[in-house]
Chains A and B, each alone.
Chain A
């Protein structure tokens, strides 16, 4: 079946602009996660959705970052007033959401964001 998809694959924007990054999870997966990966580092957690609600948003760096998942499927990560330091790979993952330590998260191909 189809895996996690993310659009766009690349996004170039100017400092101060607003951007939206989209994630389409695996069909039937109720859990969805956003991570940010800076160059040469491992991914860092941003936010976790269970269904439509954000169950954990402790990783969002500041109030310029916001994410939604209005129908419990597709999610959009929104970044306002972008800064050069926001340049990174943004990764989305999904899992069945049955809970449990062993549940594997399946990642999408990511969106490479470059803020000029």
Chain B
């Protein structure tokens, strides 16, 4: 069965520092997509970045990059130059052939000034 594991319930980072949020996944499919979403306290899920299983290069979107290690089944999110507004819940999710997303339990990130 497909599964997403986020082992860090909470993380702290100093403003302007980089932080890595861990995500491992389990799937028997060869074709899948990995997504990261941010959820502020308001509740809305905000799409951050996508990585396809066949993509040879790590995805990057501004200050977000995805450290994709296919053999280890990990897709860690790296946020560079953290800002106070980055404080939120972060969810890793996977999508296989069917359209639903499977989410992990999330990591709460707190950025300190």
Q: A-side interface residues toward B, CB under 8 Å?
A: 31, 33, 35, 40-45, 48, 50, 55-56, 59, 89, 91, 93, 95, 99, 101-110, 112
Contact = CB atoms under 8 A, between A and B. Distances in A.
B57 interface: no
Q: Which 4 A-B pairs have the closest CB atoms?
A: A42-B103, A107-B45, A101-B33, A45-B100
A7 B98 CA distance: 27
Contacts, number: 68
A30 to B, nearest CB: 11
Nearest to A49: B99
Nearest to B108: A40
Interface of B: 4, 31-33, 35, 37, 42-47, 50, 52-53, 91, 93, 95-106
B99 A102 contact: no
A103 B50 CA distance: 9
Contact of B45 (A41, A48, A91, A102): A91
Contacts of B104: 42
B43 A112 contact: yes
B73 to A, nearest CB: 16
Contacts of B42: 109
Given A42-B104, A93-B45, A107 B37 contact: yes
Given A42-B106, A48-B100, A101-B52, A89 B43 contact: yes
A43 B44 CA distance: 11
Contacts of B50: 102, 104
22 contacts: A33-B101, A35-B101, A41-B105, A42-B93, A42-B104, A42-B105, A42-B106, A43-B91, A43-B101, A45-B100, A48-B100, A50-B99, A55-B99, A89-B43, A91-B43, A101-B52, A101-B96, A103-B99, A104-B47, A107-B46, A107-B47, A110-B43
